[in-house]
Amino acid sequence: MTARILLIEDDADLARLLRRVLTDEGYAVTWAGDGHTGLHLALTREVDAMIVDRGLPAVEGLDLIARLRSRGIGTPILVLSARNSTEDRVEGLDAGAEDYLTKPFELSELLARVRALLRRHLDRAVELAVPGGSLDLATRTVRRAGGGAVELVELSEREAALLGLLAARPGVVFSRADLLDRVFGDAESETVVDTYVHYCRRKLGKDVISTVRGLGYRLGKS
């Protein structure tokens, strides 16, 4: 699967260079030129890693990261900044970034750090929190504890993919069209989304996925 990277950088020339280099490496890159647009994309799109410039207009880079972390978005983030003091790096890491790279930098180093971020993402993504337990994407099972016993609930491939997408963005409401595209790419009707939501609820309880009237679905209770 192609790794998806969200690049939030207001320097158009640098962004153009990074997009070309990252695309040549096989990544799918989405670019935002300001913090407000970047925040919106980070909250509404599923990505595997983010590269965030610290000195952004509209929403400053570290403020953007703090907002994402407060919303439960755990996607690994690399900060780019011209500030290179120890205090600046500590501020970036304390805001919730995993890595901090000062400008100017070598492209080979940036690519190495991106690869490290993506490895961390894969490690984290193996198990996701869901209401009442945790989803293991590797085995497609939900582990639930109750009454001193542990229950394992097996899911089909598509049930696990649907629940995993919602669990990776616990605060995000996904439209039926979006879920159809991301999980059921070969299906034609949005009714297949409703069908698999029903399957997940039947196995895990009605509160595992909530319906947001007129908008779509999200993880957990409304």
Q: Is the peptide bond before 57 cis (omega within 30 degrees of 0)?
A: no
**Cα 101 from chain centroid (whole Å):** 21
List Cα–Cα distances, 97 to 9, 13, 27, 78, 108, in angstroms: 15, 24, 20, 6, 20
What pLDDT does 147 receive? 62
Least-confidence region, from 51-55, 122-126, 217-221: 122-126
pLDDT at 156 over 90: yes
User: Is the CB of residue 37 less than 8 Å from the CB of residue 61?
Assistant: no
Q: What is the mean pLDDT of residues 52-64?
A: 93
pLDDT confidence tier of residue 209, bands split at 50, 70 and 90 = very high
pLDDT tens by residue, 160-197? 989 988 988 887 889 999 899 888 877 778 999 999 99
Number of Cα atoms under 13 Å in the Cβ half of residue 142 = 24
Please tell me the pTM assigned to this model: 0.59
The backbone region for 86, taken as left when phi is positive above 0, alpha when psi lies in -120 to 50, beta otherwise, is: alpha
Strands (E) across 61-148 are located at 77-81, 99-102, 127-130, 133-136, 141-146
**β-sheet bridge partners, residue 18:** none
Percent of the chain with pLDDT strictly greater than 70 = 94
Q: Whose CA is closest to 201, among 193, 212, 209?
A: 209
- b/e for 192-216, b at 16 or more Cβ within 10 A? bbeebbebbeeebeeebbbeeeeeb
- b/e for 51-82, b at 16 or more Cβ within 10 A? bbbbbbeebebbebbebbeeeebbbbbbbbbe
pLDDT confidence tier of residue 85, bands split at 50, 70 and 90 = confident
Within 10 angstroms of residue 148's Cβ, the number of other Cβ atoms is 5
